[in-house]
Amino acid sequence: MLRKAAVIMGINKPGHYTPLKSATSGAEQVAQWLKNEGYDVTCLTDRNGQVTAQMAREAISKYVTQPPRYNMLLIYFSGHGEYHARSDLWLFSGAPTNPNDAINLEGAIDLAKYSGIPNVVFISDACRSLPDTRSGSLIKGIDAFPSYSEVTNLSKIDYFKATSESQPAFEGEIKGQNQGFLTYALMSAYIDSPDEITREVIDGNENFTVVPNRMLEKFLQSKINEVIANKPGVLFQQIDACVPSDDDVYISRVIRSLTISAKRGRSKSGKSRGIIPPPTSVGDAASGIVMRSLNREQSSEMIQDETDILNRNPETVDMINNRMPNPELTHFESGCGFNIYGAQVTKAVCSKSANNDYKEWVEVVKHGNVDNNNAELRLWEINRAATLVVEFANGKCSILPALAGYIGHAIYEGDGLANVSFVPSSNSGLHEEYLRSKKEIDRFRALVSLAVKHNSFKVNSEREANSLAGIIRMGKAIDPTLGLYAAHAFSQAGNDKLVKDVIYYMRHDLGVDLFDVKLLALRQMNSAEEFSAIPFCPILTQTWNLLRPRGINLSPILIQAMPYLCNSLWTTFQPTITKSIMDYCQIGE
Tens digit of pLDDT for each residue in 426-480?
888 777 877 777 777 777 777 787 777 776 677 777 677 777 777 666 655 678 8
Q: Are 381 and 532 spatial neighbours (Cβ–Cβ below 8 Å)?
A: no
pLDDT of res. 202: 82
pLDDT tens digits in sequence order for the chain, 589 residues long: 689 999 999 999 998 899 998 999 999 999 999 999 999 999 999 999 999 999 999 999 999 999 999 999 999 999 999 999 999 999 999 999 999 999 999 999 999 999 999 999 999 999 999 998 888 888 999 999 999 988 878 899 999 999 998 899 999 999 888 899 999 999 999 998 999 999 998 877 788 899 999 999 999 999 999 999 888 878 789 999 999 898 889 999 998 765 443 332 333 333 333 344 444 567 777 777 777 666 654 444 444 455 555 556 677 777 777 777 887 888 899 999 999 999 999 999 998 655 555 578 999 999 998 877 899 999 999 888 999 999 999 999 999 999 999 999 999 998 999 999 998 888 887 778 777 777 777 777 777 877 777 766 777 776 777 777 776 666 556 788 888 988 888 888 888 888 998 898 888 888 999 999 999 998 888 665 677 899 999 999 999 999 999 999 999 999 999 999 999 999 999 999 999 999 999 876 5
Per-residue pLDDT, 210: 95
The CA distance from 172 to 181, in Å, is 7
Boundaries of CATH 3.40.50.1460 in the chain? Answer: 4-271
Nearest to 521 by CA among 544, 477, 543, 491: 491
| CB atoms closer than 10 angstroms to residue 205 | 5
The answer to whether 55 touches 44, Cβ cutoff 8 Å, is yes
At 449, the amino acid letter reads S
CA separation, residue 300 to residues 62, 71, 172 (Å):
50, 40, 49
Q: What is the DSSP letter of 425?
A: -
- Residue 26 has, within 13 A of its CA and on its CB side, a CA count of 33
CB–CB of 341/410 below 8 Å?
yes
Provide the residue count of the chain: 589
Distance CA 8, CA 33 (A): 11
Burial of 441 (0-12, 13-18, 19+ CB in 10 A): buried
For residue 129, what are the β-bridge partners? 82
Round to whole Å and give the CA distance between 161 and 242.
9
d(CA 226, CA 170): 13
Peptide bond into 194 cis (omega under 30): no
In 10 A of CB 461, how many CB atoms?
Answer: 17
The Cα–Cα gap between 358 and 334 comes to 14
DSSP letter at 155 equals: P
The model's pTM is 0.87
Q: How far apart are CA 584 and CA 581, in angstroms?
A: 5
Judge whether 244 and 158 are in contact, CB under 8 Å.
Answer: yes
DSSP state of 174: E
CB atoms within 10 A of CB 373: 12
Strands 199-203 and 206-212: antiparallel
CA 433 to chain centre: 32
State the Cα–Cα distance between residues 92 and 309, nearest whole angstrom.
42
Classified as helix, coil or strand, 228 is helix
CB 402 within 8 A of CB 337: yes
**pLDDT the model gives residue 357:** 58
Alpha-helical segments (H) within 295-427? 307-312, 314-322
Cα distances (angstroms) measured from residue 561 to each of 131, 137, 327, 406, 554:
16, 11, 36, 28, 11
Kindly give, in sequence order, each residue whose CB lies less than 8 Å from that of residue 504, ignoring residues fewer than 6 positions away: none
Residues sharing a CB contact under 8 Å with residue 49, sequence separation 6 or more, in sequence order? none
Give strand pairing partners of 202: 207
Question: 3-state secondary structure string, 501-535?
Answer: HHHHHHHHHHCCCEHHHHHHHHHHCCCCCCCCCEC
At 336 the three-state DSSP class reads coil
Can you name the CATH fold of 4-271?
Answer: Rossmann fold (3.40.50)
pLDDT digits (tens, 9 = 90+) for 69-90: 999 999 999 999 999 999 999 9
Tell me what pLDDT residue 260 has.
40
Q: What share of the chain is helix, strand, coil (3-state, %, to 5)?
A: 35, 25, 40
Q: What is the dihedral sign for C-alpha 344, 575, 514, 146?
A: negative
The pLDDT assigned to 296 comes to 59
